Structure 1
Amino acid sequence: MDPLLLGLIVAITTIIILFSGVSVALGLLMVSAAFLMVFDGMRSLELIPEILFGKLDNFALLSIPMFIIMGASIASTRAGADLYEALERWLTRIPGGLVISNLGACALFAAMSGSSPATCAAIGKMGIPEMRKRGYPDGVAAGSIAAGGTLGILIPPSVTMIVYGIATETSIGRLFLAGVLPGLLLVALFMVWSIYSTWRSGNIAVLTAGSYSWKERFEILPRVIPFLVIIVGVLYALYGGVATPSETAAVGALLCVFIAMVIYKLWNPRDLWVILRDSTKESVMILFIVAAAGVFSYMLSSLFITQSIAEWIGTLEVNRWVLMGAVNVFLLIAGFFLPPVAVILMAAPILLPIITTAGFDPIWFAVILTINMEIGLISPPVGLNLYVINGIAPDISLKTILLGSLPYVACMIFAIILLCIFPGIATWLPDVVMGVAT
């Protein structure tokens, strides 16, 4: 059978299996085993266990559970609420300052936790009621938190970037650095829109109500600064050549647990057990998807599907930006239905040779891919952040949350366009810190 036709059949089958409600990892294994058995014989199934466990035999994977523990320990405390309150006290007199405070808190908390749902939950519990009380529309209050929460998968340390690095054998350190400036760009675009929408509403008097003394502004900083020091320390250890990403993640996780115990009195063994239990569950889920995606990639390569698609794309006489536009549409649609980790692990083996053949930088492409995944987090039908916000504020309808987040989706699309025009936004910092990649 023609590999391209076979690839189409594999794609349709995979979509049907995943939409049936089967877990992503199990669905990928089922599809891989079925096609290998039919087209490559029963003996090919003997390789699946070896590939499955071989994919997990990677020292860099240790950083995933460590960063997850780091985020879980922070999310289990009042760190998010304190971070929000600190920014709110400093920015309350600025028009739209409360929305800006929430977006800034989301960005900083995302850098500490690396988790979009955790960021939404931690900042939203405090931010949404406060914004509604100050007179902000429900859509603005909910949409800004939903969009701000997406920053968790772009701003380092990012589990999504780690997964991309492992799937494409790309430097995780360079990927982390590549996410810094685009992450700050998105934060700036979100804030500019928030200030404009507040000014346009004409209700500035209400939206800037409240003031704090200098004493009140400074007294909360000691509860926030230690976590920010950890972020700086983790990045210094990583890029200063002090430790590997896995070692850095382990030290960061230990320090976050320690600070949670000291500052927030998290001494109860039951609370610590919950952190480790939930982190283990999430880590196992991600690692199972990583292993299953390895088998899926082997199946695509063994049946010459990946090579044929790359060769076919290479023969197309289209502008490379038209090709990138098609890739972005594909990623957007995939992000609507699947979690970011699953999309990366499934699509990266196919897309990487295509984008490199077209002359695009894989580090730059990682940022483009991640922003597409961010859009998926606030887009139906599977927009996870929408449901997290709805759980925090059940009296705000999903429609209202979605409409409130749409301007921020436009900001993300604008950021992708800027990155296409000025790719140095993503590649400049990695090149400066780690040297130009050869």
Structure 2
Amino acid sequence: MDPLLLGALVAIFTILVLFSGVSVAIGLLIVSAGFLMVFDGMRSLELMPEIFFGKLDNFALLSIPMFIIMGSSIASTRASADLYEALERWLTRVPGGLVISNLGACALFAAMSGSSPATCAAIGKMGIPEMRKRGYPDGVAAGSIAAGGTLGILIPPSVTMIVYGIATETSIGRLFLAGVIPGLMLVGLFMAWSMYSTWRSGNLAVISARTYSWTEKFEVLPRVLPFLAIIVGVLYALYGGIATPSETAAIGALLCLLIAMIIYKLWNPRDLWVVLRDSTRESVMILFIIAAAGVFSYMLSSLFITQAIAEWIGTLDVNRWVLMACVNVFLLIAGFFLPPVAVILMAAPILLPIITTAGFDPIWFAVVLTINMEIGLISPPVGLNLYVINGIAPDISLKTILYGSLPFVACMVLAIVLLCLFPGLATWLPDAVMGPGF
């Protein structure tokens, strides 16, 4: 059978299996085993266990559970409340200041936890009721938190970037650095829209909230600064050549646990057990998907599907930016239905040779891909953050939450356009710190 036609069949069956409700990892294994057995014979199945476990034989994978423990220990404390309160006290007199403080808290908490749903839940429980009480529309209150939560997969340390680095054999340190400026740019675009929408609506009543003295502004900082110091320390250890990503993640996890125990009195063994249990559960889920995606990639390569798709796209006489636009549409649609980790593990090995042949930097592409995944997190039908917000504020309809998040989706699309016009936004910092790359 023609490899391109076979690739179309694989895509159709994969979608059908994943839509059946089977977990992503199990679905990928079912599709891989089925096509290998039919088109390559039963003997090809003998290699599946070796490939499955071989994909996990990577030292860099140790950083994933460590960063997850780091985020889980923070999420189990009042760190999110302290972040929110600190920013609210400093920005209370700025137009749209409460929305901006919520977005800032989302950005900082996302950087520490690396989890979009956890960020939405932690900041949204405090921020949404407060914004509604101050007179902000329901759509703005809910949409800003849903969008702010997506920043966790872009701002380092990012588990998503680690997964991309492992899937494409790209430097994780470069990927982390590449996400810094685009992440800050997205935060800036979100905040700029919030200030503009508040000014345009003329709802200045939301500005004149409670005022805080300088003493009140500074007294909350000591509870926040240790966590920010850990982020800075982790990044310094990584880029200063002091430790590898896995070692850095282990140090960060240990320090976050110690701070949670010392500052927030997380002494109860049951609470510590919950942190470790939830971290283990999430880590196993991600590692299971990584191993299954390795088998799936082997199947595509063994049946010459990957090579045929790359060769076919290489023969297309189209402008490389038209090609990139098509890739972005594909990623956007895939992000509507699948979690970011699954999309990256399935698509990145196929797309990487295509985008490098077209002359695009794989580090730059990682940032573009990640922003597409962010859009998927707040877009139906599977937009996870929308349902998290709806669970926090059930009296706000999903339609209202979606409409409230659409301006922030436009900000993400603008960010992708700016990255296409100025790729140095993603590549300058990695090249400046670690030397020229691609």
> What TM-score do the two structures reach when normalised by structure 2?
0.99
Partners of 1:191 and 1:205 in 2: how far apart?
18
**Correspondence 1:240 to 2:240:** yes
Q: Show the counterpart of 2:88.
A: 88
Q: How does 1:283-432 map to 2 (within 5 A)?
A: 283-432=283-432
Q: Show the counterpart of 1:169.
A: 169
Cα RMSD over matched residues? 0.6
Q: Show the counterpart of 2:223.
A: 223
Partners of 2:222 and 2:395 in 1: how far apart?
35
Partners of 2:415 and 2:45 in 1: how far apart?
44
**Correspondence 1:2 to 2:2:** yes
Percent pairwise identity: 88
CA shift at 1:349, angstroms? 1.1
Letter in 1 for 2:297: S
Q: Show the counterpart of 1:151.
A: 151
Q: Structure 1: 5+ residue runs without aligned partners?
A: none
Partners of 1:352 and 1:206 in 2: how far apart?
47
Letter in 2 for 1:149: G
Partners of 2:172 and 2:382 in 1: how far apart?
28
Q: Show the counterpart of 1:113.
A: 113
CA shift at 1:88, angstroms? 0.3
Given that 1:153 and 1:159 are in contact with CA atoms closer than 8 Å, whether structure 2 keeps it comes out as yes
Q: Deviations over 1:331-355 (max 9, x none)?
A: 0000000000000000011101110
Partners of 2:43 and 2:103 in 1: how far apart?
54
Letter in 2 for 1:372: N
Q: How does 1:250-265 map to 2 (within 5 A)?
A: 250-265=250-265
Q: Show the counterpart of 2:69.
A: 69
Q: Show the counterpart of 1:79.
A: 79
CA shift at 1:206, angstroms? 3.0
Partners of 1:407 and 1:203 in 2: how far apart?
18
Partners of 1:206 and 1:395 in 2: how far apart?
21
Given that 2:146 and 2:386 are in contact with CA atoms closer than 8 Å, whether structure 1 keeps it comes out as yes
**Correspondence 1:97 to 2:97:** yes
Q: Deviations over 1:367-421 (max 9, x none)?
A: 0000000000000011000011111111111111000000000000000000000
Letter in 2 for 1:262: I
Letter in 1 for 2:175: L
Which stretches of structure 1, 4 residues or longer, exceed 4 Å deviation after superposition? none
Given that 1:97 and 1:208 are in contact with CA atoms closer than 8 Å, whether structure 2 keeps it comes out as no
Partners of 1:135 and 1:78 in 2: how far apart?
26
CA shift at 1:323, angstroms? 0.4
CA shift at 1:356, angstroms? 0.5
Given that 1:135 and 1:207 are in contact with CA atoms closer than 8 Å, whether structure 2 keeps it comes out as no
Partners of 2:163 and 2:206 in 1: how far apart?
44
CA shift at 1:253, angstroms? 0.3
Letter in 2 for 1:174: R
CA shift at 1:11, angstroms? 0.3
Given that 1:136 and 1:207 are in contact with CA atoms closer than 8 Å, whether structure 2 keeps it comes out as no
Q: Deviations over 1:86-123 (max 9, x none)?
A: 00000000000000000011111111111111111111
CA shift at 1:205, angstroms? 2.6
CA shift at 1:160, angstroms? 0.3
Letter in 1 for 2:234: V
What SS is found at the alignment partner of 1:57? coil
Q: Show the counterpart of 1:204.
A: 204
Letter in 1 for 2:121: A
Q: Show the counterpart of 1:280.
A: 280
Q: Deviations over 1:262-297 (max 9, x none)?
A: 010000000000000000000000000000000000
Q: Show the counterpart of 2:46.
A: 46
Given that 1:96 and 1:208 are in contact with CA atoms closer than 8 Å, whether structure 2 keeps it comes out as no
> What TM-score do the two structures reach when normalised by structure 1?
0.99
Partners of 1:392 and 1:214 in 2: how far apart?
32
Q: Structure 2: 5+ residue runs without aligned partners?
A: none
Q: Show the counterpart of 2:26.
A: 26
Partners of 1:44 and 1:178 in 2: how far apart?
39
CA shift at 1:209, angstroms? 1.6
CA shift at 1:203, angstroms? 1.2
Partners of 1:323 and 1:73 in 2: how far apart?
42
Letter in 2 for 1:5: L
Given that 2:135 and 2:205 are in contact with CA atoms closer than 8 Å, whether structure 1 keeps it comes out as no
Partners of 1:72 and 1:20 in 2: how far apart?
30
